[in-house]
Amino acid sequence: MATVYHFLRGDDSLRLAHDGAVLITGEGADTVVQRFDSGAAARAHLERVLQQRVRSGYRIMTSEMATEPGQHELAEVAEFVTWDEAEARLTVTFKTDARGLCDKIVACAAAKSPLSLRIACDPSSPGPAFAQAVAATTLPSVRRFVFDTHFQTLDRQRSNSIGDLTDLLAGLPALEQAFLSGELMLRPCTHTSVRDLFLLGDPLMPSTLSALGRCTFPSLERLGLALQYEQGGSDRQAVKAIHGVEAEVLGAVHVAGVADITAFLTALLAKPLSTGWSLLHVNGTITDEDGLLGFLESHAVSLRRLETLALPLCDYLSSEADERARALVPGLVDCEERTDPFLPATYEAW
């Protein structure tokens, strides 16, 4: 049970809660959390506060508040963590360097059992401590995971790190959907439940793509790879990763930041497309419209098996070439005709 103190003086009021070694002053966005070495130290500080408020003319009322599951853990990291009970979503924002608190943040997540876990860097980054803490604790409730700062460009998130994704995946055994951006590291691994996997980097490191090509994701249905925006991309490594990853139910592949789309598609179709693929979305640069038209003509039979092939037609093709391309592949559309899968809209409902 936490003891709640209400300080009242005319129209002025203040709320303070004492729970063990923690004092929580205020509510909502104005909450201030103080952590002490012991319950006795917190109580001694509280006594001084009570005396000061009484001398200042405040009337003090007390009440008892049952501590909900995870409430104490949440209080310890309240300046970094928000909990949405209705959505069962825990959001962590690294406003300052909190790498030393990653164990407590993960303990809070374990206590609250969220379905959705989101991590943002504003501007600090947790680094490897977070993935290590998740792997050591395990969060079996988490179905959706986001590591992205939605109000920052991918360029500004380039050095944000959450640690090795293999450690993270090991600690999220029931994970189904993941959207991750920044400096992403990966080792070859197997994960049986992940269905949607989006990896965004500037650039997405060749070592990460290489590891992806040696991963096994038997439930993976949708794969998204944003290779680069400002930095040089890794077209060849991305093709190898897509060819290599074991994902027998994969049906939709999204790739952005491709330096040469015609060369990328030529390499991708050097092996027959999986019969399960229905959507291929490739954004980037078309260096030669005649080259692309030649490719579409020579691979039209294979490409017609897709329900949708999305390419940046209007940005690079003349109207005549655009019309010719769509005639060759009836499922061909412009990328602008579809929602960009690498924007926060992809995970808004997660």
* Cα distances (angstroms) measured from residue 255 to each of 135, 176, 335: 29, 20, 11
Collapsing DSSP to helix, strand or coil, 156 comes out as: coil
Which domains does the chain show, CATH number per domain? 2-65 (2.20.140.10), 71-346 (3.80.10.10)
Q: Cβ-count burial of 304 within 10 angstroms (0-12 exposed, 13-18 middle, 19+ buried)?
A: middle
Nearest Cα residue to 31 out of 14, 48, 47, 55: 14
124 and 155 in contact (C-beta within 8 Å)? no
Count CB atoms within 10 A of the CB of residue 275: 7
DSSP letter (8 states) at residue 273: P
pTM as predicted: 0.81
Written as tens digits, the pLDDT of the chain (350 aa) is 567 777 778 778 888 888 777 788 876 556 677 878 888 888 899 889 889 888 988 898 888 765 554 555 676 788 889 989 899 999 999 998 878 889 999 999 998 899 999 999 999 999 999 999 999 999 999 999 999 999 999 999 999 999 999 999 999 999 999 999 999 999 999 999 999 999 999 999 999 999 999 999 999 999 999 998 765 568 999 999 999 999 999 999 999 999 999 999 999 999 998 889 999 999 999 999 999 999 999 999 999 999 999 999 999 999 999 999 999 999 999 999 999 999 999 999 89
Radius of gyration of the chain (CA): 26
